[in-house]
Amino acid sequence: MSINITLPDGSVQEHQDGTSGYEIATGIGSRLAKAAVAVTVDGEMWDLHRPIEDDAAISIVTDNTEAGRHVIRHSAAHIMAQAVLDLYADAKFAIGPAIEDGFYYDFEVDEPFTPEDLERIENRMAAIIVEDQSFDRGELSIEEAMETFANQPFKREIIAGVDADEGVDGDSVSIYRNDAFIDLCRGPHLPSTGRLKAYKLTRSAGAYWRGDEKNPQLQRIYGTAWESKKALDTYQTRLEEAAKRDHRKLGAELDLFSFPQELGSGLAVWHPKGGILRRTVEDYSRRTHAEFGYEYVVTPHLAKADLWETSGHLDFYRETMYPAMELDGGEERPGQEYFVKPMNCPFHILIYKSRGRSYRELPLRLFELGTVYRYEMSGVIHGLMRARGFTMDDSHIFSTETQLADELQRLLDFVVMVLRDFGFDEFEADLSTKPDKAVGEPDLWVKAEEYLATALDKSGVTYQLAPGEGAFYGPKIDIHIKDAIGRRWQLSTIQVDFAQPENFDLEYATNHNTKERPVMIHRALLGSIERFIGILTEHYAGAFPPWLSPVQVTVVPVADRHNEYAQEVADLLGERDVRVEVDTADDTVGEKIRTAIVQKNPVVLVVGDSDVDNGTVGMRLRGEETEERGVALADATNQIAELVAPPR
RNA sequence: GCCGGGGUAGCUCAGGGGUAGAGCAACGCACUCGUAAUGCGUAGGCCGCGGGUUCAAAUCCCGCCUCCGGCUCCA
């Protein structure tokens, strides 16, 4: 019997039933067949050699596509598990998926893996690959599978949990066998182990079964796998490039900040150059907030337990707060508990409550660069990205229900403007909606979610819905940016809050002199200033836009006799608010230029005899191959003043 | 917090029971130079902290601190 195979270009080929993706690929061309790793049959990924019995639309999956690499990585995970089970007879294996850029597999073993173990496993994998064992697909009933994996508790747990849409059908599962190794798997796989060309085991780590720290901790081995040695090399180069951008490394090299061990984990000190960077960001933040109708406030770093009781933080957030300190106690009587603030909201609420509020004052936008402390688990601290003390560009907006839609729109436009000013152009948002357990009137939830969605649409920010992911007290928008090397970072948050106005019994007088409860919006644009500067550092690889660069211009005198003129040039620039340094070190011109470039300073001015005579400078701009000599001083200062001007 | 790997000069790293090392940076001297590293010299160390083993510990053992990677990506 013959069947009709529809190819991606729409053409239809006639084949014998029981043909395979591999045969079809071979018919099209030997190069395609060679690159093929799997086939999609009516949208479902199949093994290359699995017989196709009916008419179908197919597409050959080649090894240099993301789908193809997924197959390669998944197969690599199997081969690794096989190697581990060969070497460690008692190992229990759990799950081993393909992930971005690689794969992992989790095992329960007596002793955690050491780097030497990884080497042994890698060698064993090489032997399995040389044997070129074929991956054979099979199906087992649930009972048979339970039997087959009698000694594999994790596999049995998975089998017990399969849904109809995960297994072949409701009561059977698919398995893959190569040589004596059998794994429960949806597939598809490479035709044989010999097709794994380029792989590397990268690290081992503890990982909780199903990601839950209440479950036993398994040993996870991570690896990477690619279609060719060359692709693997490219990947490794990419990692090295990313490592060069690491803000912790650049922070030290550019003398921006450090994390002295004497201070404590997760706490940074800002050096003078980092201080300039930070102040520039903060000044921008204060300036733009003022322009957008925010009122600047300042609040203390601690507050009594009562406040955190009322706000609910002690109930919901206590383990992330620094522990209480008891103050003002005496011999006889107990003291009062104080907590360092993990958030600024209760303080802003107290400012709202400091007197009666009228509808005429709303929306009231209180803004603070508020420094908070959070006791993050020691294992998650990561430079400025995850610190224990940081400063938020935090604001709480108190608005009437009827103002909410406009206010959210205005806010979102503000966010987009700010992020663009820092050089981010690609945004994506998540809109998180009402979870099952929630406070606040259902009507109000629906309205608020609708306003948020409308605001996103109008601002042209693409977004994904995260149903049920909102906090219990209100819906929110999270905004992610994409950095220069394609990574996503969550930056801004806009969180509607129906609970706090209730907790603190907030109200305002309406135009009929009745009392109404305001709605509250928590929002941060840059989020943590520390983290934001970390992200900026990595985005720009330390080469900050001129308005943010701690040193904007370095003046290099060719010889000592030009020092005086160099200083005159610097003074002129200083008058134009340009941050400028004169390098009078006893180095060669080449060395001084190199130092300025390595420090990623945007402008280097070289001055020598001819410049002194003619009132000119030699100007080298960051990112340009060559310098421009003999630039008239007035032209240079004008050009530089323009270059370093902030976006607004 | 849990699992693994680290902590030696300001930085990057070598050394692994018996005298503490290199390169870069710093400092000094010479050179006064026109666009990415001039030469020579000098100084710099509680080998993360505490305890133990030993005739002897940077090195071996124990505890702590701290840094790095992982603990979401569901056969």
The Cα A221–Cα A204 span in angstroms is 4
Interatomic separation, CA of residue A596 and C1' of nucleotide B10, rounded (Å): 19
Whichever domain contains A535, its CATH number is 3.30.930.10
Residue A491 to residue A493: CA distance in whole angstroms: 7
Contact A262, A239 (CB under 8 A): no
In a domain, A306, yes or no: no
Q: CA A210, CA A197: separation in Å to the nearest integer? A: 30
Cα(A452)–Cα(A398) distance, integer angstroms: 16
- Please state whether strand B lies within 7 Å of residue A7 at its CB atom: no
- Enter the ipTM: 0.92
Cβ–Cβ < 8 Å for A65, A37: no
In a domain, A297, yes or no: yes
Strands A2-6, A56-62: pairing is: parallel
What 3-state DSSP class applies to A46?
strand
Å from A594 (CA) to B23 (C1')?
18
Containing domain of residue A468, as a range?
269-301+341-539
Contact assessment for residue A471 and residue A521, using Cβ atoms and an 8 Å cutoff: no
Q: Are residues A459 and A472 in the same domain?
A: yes
Answer yes or no: is A242 CB < 7 A from strand B.
no
User: Which of chain A's residues 265-324 bind strand B, using a 7 Å CB cutoff?
Assistant: 265-266
User: Is A57 within 7 A of strand B by CB distance?
Assistant: no
Whether the beta carbon of A221 falls within 7 A of nucleic chain B: the reply is no
Does residue A524 lie within any of the structural domains? yes
Distance (Å, whole) CA A533 – CA A392: 12
Tell which of A513, A539, A565 closes a domain: A539
Judge whether residue A24 contacts strand B, using its CB and a 7 Å cut-off.
no
Helix axes A404-421, A442-459, angle to 10 degrees: 40
**Strand B reaches within 7 A of the A243 CB:** no
Residue A212: nearest nucleotide (C-alpha to C1'):
B71
| A365 and A502 share one domain | yes
| CA of A183: nucleotide with nearest C1' | B75
CA–C1' gap, A49 and B37, in angstroms: 59
Q: Which of residues 245-264 of A touch strand B (CB under 7 A)?
A: 248, 252, 259, 261, 264
Q: Which residue has the tokens 């920010």?
A: A461
Distance measured from the CA of protein residue A111 to the C1' of nucleotide B16, in angstroms:
25
Phi, then psi, of A255 in degrees rounded to 5: 60, 45
Quote the CA–CA distance of A83 and A63 in Å, as a whole number.
23
Asked if strand B comes closer than 7 Å to A626 Cβ, the answer is yes
Helix, strand, or coil (residue A399): strand
User: Which secondary-structure segment (H or E) carries A119?
Assistant: helix A115-131
At residue A173, the pLDDT reads: 86
Q: Is A82's CB less than 7 Å from nucleic acid strand B? A: no
Q: Which of residues 368-387 of A touch strand B (CB under 7 A)?
A: 377-383
A31 and A143 belong to one structural domain: no
Same domain, A494 and A352: yes
Q: At which of A509, A539, A569 does a domain end?
A: A539
Could you give the CA distance from residue A23 to residue A29 in angstroms, rounded to a whole number?
A: 10
One domain for residues A396 and A375: yes
In whole angstroms, B27 C1' to A578 CA is 31
Per the CB < 8 A criterion, the answer to whether A569 and A633 are in contact is yes
**How far, in Å, is the CA of A261 from the C1' of nucleotide B48?**
9
Contacts 24+ apart (CB under 8 A), A474-477: A474/A440, A474/A445, A474/A448, A474/A498, A474/A499, A475/A431, A475/A432, A475/A433, A475/A434, A475/A445, A475/A448, A475/A449, A476/A431, A476/A432, A476/A452, A477/A412, A477/A429, A477/A430, A477/A431, A477/A432, A477/A452
Same domain, A450 and A409: yes
Q: Is the domain of A463 the same as that of A595?
A: no
Token duo for residue A128: 């399995």
Nearest Cα residue to A74 out of A103, A105, A49: A103
Query: Is A401 domain-assigned?
Result: yes
Q: Does one domain contain both A161 and A283?
A: no
A154 lies in some domain = yes
A283 and A427, same domain (yes or no): yes
Q: Vertex A379, ends A470 and A205: CA angle to 5°? A: 100
* Residue A392 belongs to a domain: yes
Check whether residue A281 and residue A295 sit in a common domain.
yes
Q: What angle do CA A258, A260, A264 make, to 5 degrees?
A: 120
pLDDT at A405: 93
Q: Is the CB of A182 under 7 A from strand B?
A: no
Assigned domain for A24 exists:
yes
- How many domains, in total, are found in chain A? 4
pLDDT of amino acid A546: 97
Domain boundary among A539, A573, A594: A539
Check if residue A609 sits with its Cβ under 7 angstroms from strand B: yes
| CATH number of the domain encompassing residue A631 | 3.40.50.800
DSSP character for A478? E
A142 sits within 7 Å of strand B by its CB: no
Two tokens, residue A527: 């989020």
User: B8 C1' – A260 CA distance, angstroms?
Assistant: 18
DSSP secondary structure string, A299-349?
--SEEEHHHHHHHTHHHHTGGGSPPPEEES--SSS--EEEEE-S-SHHHHH
Ordered mean pLDDT values, 10 residues apiece, chain A (648 residues): 89 90 91 92 90 91 92 95 92 92 93 87 94 92 89 89 58 86 90 92 90 89 94 89 92 93 89 96 97 97 95 90 87 87 96 96 96 92 94 96 94 95 94 90 93 93 91 93 91 94 96 96 96 96 96 96 96 97 94 95 96 96 92 97 96
The pLDDT of residue A166 is: 52
Q: List all nucleotides in chain B with at least one atom under 7 A from a protein Cβ.
A: 1-5, 7, 11-12, 26, 29-38, 65-75
Whether A236 is covered by a domain: the verdict is yes
SS3 call for A475:
coil
Q: Is A242 left (phi over 0), alpha (psi -120 to 50) or beta?
A: alpha
The integer distance in angstroms from the CA atom of A99 to the C1' atom of B67 is 27
Q: Are residues A233 and A129 in the same domain?
A: yes
Clarify whether residues A558 and A431 are in a common domain: no
Strand B and A237 CB separated by under 7 Å: no
- Which two tokens mark A462? 């693409």
